[in-house]
Amino acid sequence: MEFTEQFAHQQDNNDPLKGFRDKFIIPKHNGTDAVYFCGNSLGLQPKNLGGIFRLN
């Protein structure tokens, strides 16, 4: 098996969890999605969390 860019895209397209990325707010850097690493964080903010805060 050869690990090419084409193989990586194929694996991404076949990933049953790929839709979960759309459920989070991805920070931007210079107009593109940033790689998000933070050891003191709870992770990326879910997009639906804002509604929960407004209810309380």
Which pLDDT belongs to residue 38? 74
pLDDT digits (tens, 9 = 90+) for 20-40: 989 998 889 999 999 878 777
- pTM of the complete model: 0.60
Distance, CA of 37 to CA of 23 (rounded, Å): 18
Q: Is the pLDDT of residue 49 over 70?
A: yes
Which pLDDT belongs to residue 7? 96
Angle CA 16–7–37, to nearest 5: 65
Binned at pLDDT 50, 70 and 90, residue 17 comes out as very high
Which pLDDT belongs to residue 51? 64
